[in-house]
């Protein structure tokens, strides 16, 4: 193949020979050029078209699986390959774990470029399906059309509504979902109840471009304690329509313990600045990790795989090496789950988080668990952690940091370097940004232990816990 190939140029009988990060696989073309392809796995022979072409690499879309890899298995979901949620269903879970371990190793070595200890074998999830405690579905006036549908069309499409997940990379198109294997029932019962009810009554789905329609989103949380929370989001108040649909949900969907609604007239889907109204039951559910119980309200952040969160937090607690005399600082503490989980072995826990609502939940969670040595503060770590604050609360002996996918802000990295806690436990949901931060922390810390933990089977996402000790 020439170094430069036109977009949509056909490539025939290409052998996929390696896995790359972010759920993509790799083929090596002429002159060392690399082709990245989704939905293909090492060992596949495929036909593809180029959809993005650069000097040393290209991105392709598979058009035909000519010869499947010996690794391939049959996906279990009818929506596989379209919804974009579980991209690795065609791989045995044992093979997924091998690639995730490889991803952690590659990114820490390539990006971090610091001395590393041996990376421990990945901890797999005991639940490969039905492991999420939270899902959000979207009502859209625009159903997503597959490439096959578009190529087979004989006339211009009439827009159709859809209830499901956003199509990958498209903010205005939704993939119609009938059965999802990510969350226990009554999730699918609710989904199909809402679809049938809204269709029968011609309730308009939201059009995010025109900002018309009524039904916008539905969030469902199913806890391991057996409680179920639903939050229905609509675009404007319509008392009769709202009362009717909420009553129908309550009458039809089993096991609901908290039924809520939110009026969202904004241009975006975020509800964190909006009031959530509890229509039935209590305004929260409870989740349990070991012997600790946590209040989960409609806007709370909580690890979405409760079963595996225990394993992740157990690794974190072990790495912290608490003996009962340490002051533990929990940065990006959210609703306080990690700090509370580690609290039995800490002299004092200080949690810090930007989101004020999360801090209020953290305080309630600490009180509900009878913990009087846990304190939580809303604000930026760099503003809170002053000499006066340390004089009042103590300097950290151990820092736990659990940032979002973007990693830590460089100001926070510099603040940690100034705080000079003997130990830092870095819990990451993105090894690439973790590797970047570890390189900066290398100025004062050595990496002593590394433990990958898989929270999300059938996806490329992977968590990694690092123990850093002061040099």
Active site residues: 429
Tokens of residue 31, six digits = 């002159």
- What one-character-per-residue DSSP string does 159-215 give? P--EEEEEPTT-SS-EEE-S--SSS-TTHHHHHHHHHHHHHHTTPPBPBTTTTB-SE
- Say how far residue 109 (Cα) sits from the centre of its chain: 24
Closest to 400 in 3D by CA, of 325, 324, 286, 312: 312
**Which helix (H) or strand (E) segment is 95 a member of?**
helix 93-107
Contacts of residues 291-295 at CB distance under 8 Å and 24 or more positions apart, as own/partner, are 292/337, 292/340, 292/341, 292/365, 292/369, 293/365, 293/368, 293/369, 294/335, 294/337, 294/340, 294/365, 295/335, 295/361, 295/364, 295/365, 295/368
Interatomic CA distance for residues 109 and 217, integer angstroms: 41
């Amino acid at each position: 193949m020439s170094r430069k190939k036109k977009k949509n140029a056909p490539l025939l009988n290409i052998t996929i020979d390696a896995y790359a990060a972010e759920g993509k696989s790799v083929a090596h073309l002429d002159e060392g050029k690399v082709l990245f392809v989704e939905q293909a796995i090492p060992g596949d022979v495929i036909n593809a078209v180029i959809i993005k072409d650069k000097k040393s690499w290209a991105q392709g879309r598979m058009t035909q699986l000519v010869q499947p890899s010996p690794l391939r298995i049959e996906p279990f979901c009818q929506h596989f390959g379209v919804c974009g949620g579980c991209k690795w269903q065609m791989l045995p879970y044992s093979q997924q774990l091998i690639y995730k371990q490889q991803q952690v190793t590659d990114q820490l070595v390539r990006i971090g470029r610091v001395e590393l200890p041996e990376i421990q074998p990945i901890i797999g999830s005991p639940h490969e399906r039905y492991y999420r405690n939270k899902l959000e579905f979207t009502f859209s006036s625009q159903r997503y059309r597959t490439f096959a549908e578009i190529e087979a069309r004989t006339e211009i499409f009439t827009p159709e509504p859809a209830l499901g997940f956003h199509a990958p990379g498209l903010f205005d198109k939704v993939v119609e979902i009938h059965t999802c294997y990510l969350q226990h029932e009554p999730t699918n019962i609710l989904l199909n109840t809402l679809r049938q009810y809204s269709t029968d009554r011609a309730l308009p789905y939201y059009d995010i471009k025109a900002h018309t329609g009524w039904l916008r989103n539905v969030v469902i949380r199913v806890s391991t304690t057996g409680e179920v929370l639903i939050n229905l989001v609509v675009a404007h108040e319509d008392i009769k329509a709202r009362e009717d649909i909420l009553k129908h949900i309550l009458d039809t969907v089993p096991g609901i313990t908290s039924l809520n609604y939110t009026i969202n007239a904004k241009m975006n889907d975020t509800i964190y600045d909006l009031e959530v109204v509890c229509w039935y039951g209590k305004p929260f559910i409870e989740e349990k990790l070991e012997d600790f119980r946590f209040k989960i309200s409609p806007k709370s952040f909580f690890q979405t795989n409760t079963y595996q969160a225990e394993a992740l937090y157990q690794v974190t607690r072990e790495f912290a090496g608490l003996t009962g005399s340490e002051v533990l600082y929990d940065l990006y503490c959210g609703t306080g789950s990690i700090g509370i989980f580690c609290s039995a072995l800490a002299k004092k826990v200080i949690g810090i988080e930007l989101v004020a609502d999360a801090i209020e939940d953290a305080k309630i969670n600490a009180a509900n668990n009878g913990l009087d040595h846990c304190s939580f503060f809303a604000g930026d770590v760099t503003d809170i952690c002053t000499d006066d604050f340390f004089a009042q609360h103590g300097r950290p002996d151990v820092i736990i940091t659990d940032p979002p996918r973007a990693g830590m802000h460089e100001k926070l990295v510099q603040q940690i370097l100034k705080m000079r806690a003997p130990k830092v436990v870095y819990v990451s949901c993105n090894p690439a940004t973790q590797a970047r931060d570890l390189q900066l922390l290398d100025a004062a810390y050595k990496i002593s232990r590394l433990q990958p933990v898989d929270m999300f089977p059938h996806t490329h996402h992977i968590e990694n816990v690092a123990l850093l000790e002061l040099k």
